[in-house]
Homo-oligomer: A and B are copies of this chain.
């Protein structure tokens, strides 16, 4: 499942509809989104989408999130160039989390320049989180 043979294609003409209502939006009107790298299966990051972000993602085929800190749509890579091309999109059993399988431009998902945002590993000896080499 981590390397799905998928045929996701963006649809510039898709409009809001029952498919958008099928998502379980939280009290803030958001859904959690996990971005996983196609091929490697690496979990890259977690972010959020609102209805507009999901609609836009389906239309252009690149990940568009909702930035909670900036309170606006965030076309991932709009500044860094590290866009994510959607290869597959899945919804979970209770509709409140989306799994986005993406082709990560330059292999860099994190704003720190790391491949994945999950670069802090557990150091049992020191009982702390440490930056670990990937």
A: residues with CB less than 8 A from B are 1-2, 7-9, 11, 14, 17-19, 22, 32, 34, 36, 40-43, 45-46, 88-95, 97, 99, 110-112, 114-122, 124, 127-129, 132, 134
Contacts and interface: CB of A to CB of B under 8 A. Distances in A.
Given A34-B34, A41-B41, A99-B43, A19 B127 contact: yes
B92 A120 contact: yes
In the assembly, how many copies of this chain are there? Answer: 2
A112 B90 CA distance: 16
Nearest to A6: B121
B124 A110 contact: no
B92 A117 contact: yes
8 contacts: A1-B40, A14-B127, A18-B128, A93-B110, A93-B117, A93-B120, A94-B117, A95-B120
